[in-house]
Copies of this chain bind each other. A is one copy, B any other.
Amino acid sequence: MSGKTRTRILDAALRLFNEQGESNISTNHIADELEISPGNLYYHFRNKDDIIEQLFQRFEERMDTALQVPEGRPATLEDVWLQLHRVFECIWDYRFLYRDIINILSRNRSLRLRFARILKRGSANAHGIMQGLNETGVMRASAREIEGLATNILVLATFWLNYAGVRGEKDEQKAIRQGIVQVMMLVSPFLRDSERLHLHTLSAAYAE
């Protein structure tokens, strides 16, 4: 029954990392939490970095799923809304990565490359969706504007929850909703009048 303890360790590590920050949680803390010995933990994982890599693996798969886009038709604003939800939920569930992102990536070349790949995928995603919206006339933006917009969406999505944390927002669902509204505000000026009005109505209700 090797998988059992291994999984419990990963689950506990994720929870503790998210709650208290990766740098504040030692392998002993994780073992204590599960009431197993430190030696046992090291039977299942080479070291702390190994645990982080496995959690990153989970995160990567989850984010790849969240970034999937409807095939065979141009995206709608509804799609954007839903996808932002999936992405923000994913970031929330692995927020320890984002909270210490520079430190974590600076220790590990492999994670650096894989995170860069995720950013690239997110960027391509944003581009694709906005080109779809452009084609169907829902929005109107030049190539240069789409380029800048995609970058700003990426930065906002990546760091919004850190910002909410610094601001002291404790209600995670609220923070996520507000993040989505802020991203929508980036897109808003480029929308057709009717869509923009509709969006403003939705946003006002959504942000609380």
Contact = CB atoms under 8 A, between A and B. Distances in A.
Given A102-B166, A116-B167, 8 more contacts: A100-B103, A102-B162, A105-B166, A144-B204, A152-B186, A154-B163, A156-B156, A189-B189
Interface in A81-107: 99-103, 105-106
Nearest to A161: B102
Nearest to A168: B116
Nearest to A200: B144
Interface residues of A, number: 41
20 contacts: A23-B103, A99-B102, A99-B103, A100-B103, A101-B166, A102-B162, A115-B166, A116-B166, A116-B167, A144-B200, A144-B204, A148-B182, A148-B185, A152-B182, A155-B159, A155-B160, A158-B159, A159-B159, A159-B162, A189-B189
